[in-house]
Amino acid sequence: EAQVTQNPRYLITVTGKKLTVTCSQNMNHEYMSWYRQDPGLGLRQIYYSMNVEVTDKGDVPEGYKVSRKEKRNFPLILESPSPNQTSLYFCASSLEGLAGELFFGEGSRLTVL
């Protein structure tokens, strides 16, 4: 089954404790991206990757890191999480960049205390 898989789906952590949210897709998509969703703000793009080893900042990259060492994986790293990073995070992928359909994961709800 074609899908975008995120882990963990739910996480409660404390300020400053490094964490990684993994994202994996099995559709051989070149484009992958991360978004955060906050009430009343819609979705905001954090980082995106047009292909392996190519990553670029989105609208709200501060406090986040990403890497794209292989096509299927695009992990989101929070080196020192802070409470303002409490949010619902979505990973998405597409075969043809933004000309194609974005397939979204089910989301990862992160709470930073």
Partner 1 sequence: AQSVTQLGSHVSVSEGALVLLRCNYSSSVPPYLFWYVQYPNQGLQLLLKYTSAATLVKGINGFEAEFKKSETSFHLTKPSAHMSDAAEYFCAVSEGRGSTLGRLYFGRGTQLTVWP
What residues line the site for partner 1 (CB under 8 A)? 4, 31, 33, 35, 40-45, 48-50, 56, 58-59, 90, 92, 97-99, 101-102, 104-107
Q: Identify which of residues 28 and 80 has a Cβ nearer to partner 1 in the complex.
A: 28
Nearest distance from C-beta of residue 42 to partner 1, angstroms:
4
Q: Identify which of residues 16 and 49 has a Cβ nearer to partner 1 in the complex.
A: 49
Contacts of residue 83, Cβ cutoff 8 Å, sequence gap at least 6: 15, 112, 113
Task: Give the rounded distance of the alpha carbon of 110 from its chain centre.
Answer: 12
Nearest distance from C-beta of residue 81 to partner 1, angstroms:
22
Nearest distance from C-beta of residue 70 to partner 1, angstroms:
18
Contacts of residue 99, Cβ cutoff 8 Å, sequence gap at least 6: none
CA distances from 20 to 41, 64, 110, 111 (A): 23, 10, 11, 13
